[in-house]
Structure 1
Amino acid sequence: PKGALLVGPPGTGKTLLAKAVAGEAGVPFFSMSGSDFVEMFVGVGASRVRDLFRQAKEKAPCIIFIDEIDAVGRARSKNPAMGGNDERENTLNALLTEMDGFGTNSGVIILAATNRVDMLDKALLRAGRFDRQISVDLPDLTERKEIFNVHLRKVKIDHTVDIDFLSRQTPGFSGADIANVCNEAALIAARHNKKTVGKKDFLDAVDRIIGGLEKKTKVMTNDEKRTIALHEAGHATVSWFCEHANPLVKVSIVPRGRALGAAWYLPEERQITTKEQMLDEMCSLLGGRAAEELFTGHISTGAMNDLERATKSAYGMIAYAGMSDRLPNICYYNQQEYQFQRPYSETTAKIMDDEVLKMINDEYARAKQILKEHSEGHNQLAELLMTREVIFAEDVERIFGKRPWVSRSEEIIEDNLPKLEDMPEEVRKAQEEHEAAKHKEE
């Protein structure tokens, strides 16, 4: 091939892949960044491109690697800089000519990496220049497992660590994120003066990376704490009784980052998602706000993130996925980023807004209905949260019974949940006191 373009999100290992090629190719390797060509002095960028290719031809066969090529390869604008000299365009033109111009440069292969392929100039992507685009996507389940194995070589782990569970617990993580999880887990273990890194350290590391630092010093009134507990128990209850909702791992009311509480799930990795799955997920998102309204009689600002996600999901279903009753099988996805007009009329926009409102209100009513049916269990869950601050799927199961629908993820959760006897002394005591008080009341 003349050239190969590595495309993918940040942290997936595009530069590492180029390093591996450099190590294995056994030929001279020139590594540069796109910004190395861009200079404030006019003409320097283009002359650097010519120098690079001249050296490469002398050393041929060889490989040139340009990292972050979008710094020079950005699409040229329709109205060039009037009267000025656009340095970036000159650099790009020099690159285009060198890659496949009048002169021959046989034996020189060009690798490039970018995470913004939509910004690149079309002339750069034509056959004969970058012949092939290699997609370096976020790793899936088995790939995450392999990446964990690589990064755990340097870490002393004990027998409790289950790599399969960890790789399921980190959906959507890139290779760089996984390296960060391993490092963070080792730091947490070192803070507790441990000789090895255990499963709890890894779970704490994942929690910290997703949710942020625990803020145990944040002062909250009892009313606020109760509202948050009801809210998070609402998510847990509704997701427990929605068939397609992701299985619950744990619920916490310990503030992290900007969040005051969180429910952690173990998502199924799907290539396609059905309407029923999306509606069930929307229903469990709205469970928190529904629980607040039902059991405290007023609503708060605590559900802003849930509402934002539910609204975005509903607009996506109606405007892009054609899942609406009044606008079926229509997709208004507009790929041209710089086009300012919407590809539909005001009337259609009004229909979309109405459909989104109807969809969200229907799911909200459904969430309230589920909570009314299981209000007693929800109340027990909230009380348990107030006492222990963190509860696990087995506690929810003890209150509501087994879920009728068991997924592969849930089977793995059951094997990996921390048992009461493994918990810290104070948590165990609090739980036993709570059980004793409950027994006394009865």
Structure 2
Amino acid sequence: LLAKAVAGEAKVPFFSLSGSDFVEMFVGVGASRVRDLFKQAKDKSPAIIFIDEIDAVGRARGKNNFSGSNDERENTLNQLLTEMDGFGTNTHVIVLAATNRADILDKALMRAGRFDRQIYVDLPDIRERKEIFEVHLTPLKKADDLDTEFLAKQTPGFSGADIANVCNEAALIAARKNKTQVERQDFLDAVDRIVGGLEKKNKIVTPEEKRAIAVHEAGHATVSWMLEHAAPLIKVTIVPRGQSLGAAWYLPEERLIVRPNQMLDEMCATMGGRAAEEVVFDTISTGALSDLEKVTRQARAMVTIYGLNDKIGNITYYDSSGQSEYNFSKPYSEETAVLIDKEISALVEGQYKRAIQLLKENKEKLLQLADILIEKEVIFKDDLEAIFGKRPFGEIHTLT
């Protein structure tokens, strides 16, 4: 989209290709295609060339050439490097390229004189999301009172493509309900559908399982309500969606840095589901798989990536260049590996015990919440406030 916008503004000929167009089985084809492309662009100069997914051609050379043969991709890359800044200067030809794997690109491609500027396109923030919504809402017949700012707040972490998808999905939902215009509720349903998957109304759930799911989700809600840094809850549902049997929906803050106590509170809230099963039924089930996966990943990141662990210290084993993927050796010794495993386990178990303690103190309220969930299937923030009272820490106001 950025490349299209640049070409439109520049009012010059625009050549668009993807990186895989150059890579062919036959030797020499890729290089000759690069030559042809630049020759065409020179004839039509001034011109813009846009190469999408350039990592198909521009991957770092030489390190992992296991084939030992004349590598077609390397020849293509060499030709591209020569064309971009070789002996014969390509005047008035601008090259734009896009990739989501900038870490594996060849160093020679990234130096000044070839790609001078690297623009990192991050996920849009709340203001940008509002503007993207306004673009994608233009073709829809929407309700007059539709608040784009509210929609932007409901979609943290969504990319431009996700937002386009939300608008499309909301229009489909409104059409299914025979509405003449798309309303706010249709957008909320569309966000649920995209984040969680399709509702599975026909999934057979026994009453015992339904109660277990309700207790599990009520556990998440209770623990996150009691913790200061856990993300504010919007709603809890026990309607099966996609692969999940139930879900608690949060609206996370858009933080740029995260402190250890914020991470620990989030881990504790994630363990709240399994802890609730332990407190109510005295036994646990396989329903907490995605929770355990999330918590383990977060604990591993705290210990090995962000250096937030006292015993391991201020050390990271993260490699931002992406070159260590092919190394068969670990960056730490066996003793450290054992220590890392112990620390990850201690972090997770510590938060699990904390969640159990919180739920034991609020067991009546937890059961009350589970009963309401079984009855209504979906409950909102107001229902939680009716049981627990206002959140003890007040609302966290983020600057927008």
- Indicate whether the TM-score tops 0.5: yes
Is 1:203 the counterpart of 2:188? The answer is: yes
Q: Is the 8 A contact 1:247 1:410 kept in 2?
A: no
One-letter amino acid matched to 1:128: G
Unpaired runs of at least 5, structure 2: none
Query: Greater CA deviation, 49-58 or 392-401?
Result: 49-58
List aligned pairs for 1:233-272, cutoff 5 A. 233-272=218-257
- Give the structure 2 partner of residue 187 of structure 1: 172
The structural deviation recorded for 1:81 is: 6.7
- Deviation string 1:69-107 (CA, Å, 9 cap, x unpaired) is 112111223364767432211111111111111111121
Q: Is the 8 A contact 1:268 1:409 kept in 2?
A: no
**Residues in 2 aligned to 1:195 and 1:361: alpha-carbon distance in whole angstroms:** 52
Instruction: Please report the TM-score for the alignment, with normalisation by the length of structure 2.
Output: 0.96
**Residues in 1 aligned to 2:164 and 2:63: alpha-carbon distance in whole angstroms:** 43
Is 1:363 the counterpart of 2:351? The answer is: yes
- Deviation string 1:365-392 (CA, Å, 9 cap, x unpaired) is 1111111111111111000000000000
One-letter amino acid matched to 2:77: L
Q: Residue 132 of structure 1 aligns to a residue in which SS?
A: coil
- Give the structure 1 partner of residue 116 of structure 2: 131
Q: Is the 8 A contact 2:235 2:380 kept in 1?
A: yes
- Give the structure 2 partner of residue 427 of structure 1: none
List aligned pairs for 1:172-183, cutoff 5 A. 172-183=157-168
Unpaired runs of at least 5, structure 1: 1-15, 413-442
**Residues in 1 aligned to 2:98 and 2:10: alpha-carbon distance in whole angstroms:** 18
Q: 2:146 aligns with which of 158, 161, 164?
A: 161
Q: Is the 8 A contact 1:243 1:405 kept in 2?
A: yes
The structural deviation recorded for 1:164 is: 1.7
Q: 1:216 aligns with which of 201, 205, 208?
A: 201
Q: Is the 8 A contact 1:247 1:409 kept in 2?
A: no
Is 1:59 the counterpart of 2:35? The answer is: no
Instruction: Please report the TM-score for the alignment, with normalisation by the length of structure 1.
Output: 0.87
- Deviation string 1:6-42 (CA, Å, 9 cap, x unpaired) is xxxxxxxxxx111111111022222222122222222
Q: 1:41 aligns with which of 26, 38, 44?
A: 26
- Deviation string 1:288-337 (CA, Å, 9 cap, x unpaired) is 00000110111000001101111110111111112212122222223432
The structural deviation recorded for 1:198 is: 1.2
Query: Greater CA deviation, 396-405 or 75-84?
Result: 75-84
- Give the structure 1 partner of residue 87 of structure 2: 102
One-letter amino acid matched to 1:351: L
Aligned length: 397
CA RMSD in angstroms, aligned pairs only: 1.7
- Give the structure 2 partner of residue 382 of structure 1: 370
The structural deviation recorded for 1:406 is: 2.5
**Residues in 2 aligned to 1:105 and 1:411: alpha-carbon distance in whole angstroms:** 47
- Give the structure 2 partner of residue 77 of structure 1: 62
- Deviation string 1:407-431 (CA, Å, 9 cap, x unpaired) is 346999xxxxxxxxxxxxxxxxxxx
Change (3 A) 1:91 1:237: same
Q: Is the 8 A contact 2:253 2:398 kept in 1?
A: no
**Residues in 2 aligned to 1:352 and 1:82: alpha-carbon distance in whole angstroms:** 36
Is 1:146 the counterpart of 2:127? The answer is: no
**Residues in 2 aligned to 1:194 and 1:124: alpha-carbon distance in whole angstroms:** 53
Q: Residue 274 of structure 2 aligns to a residue in which SS?
A: helix
- Deviation string 1:189-237 (CA, Å, 9 cap, x unpaired) is 1000001111111111011101000001100111000000000000000
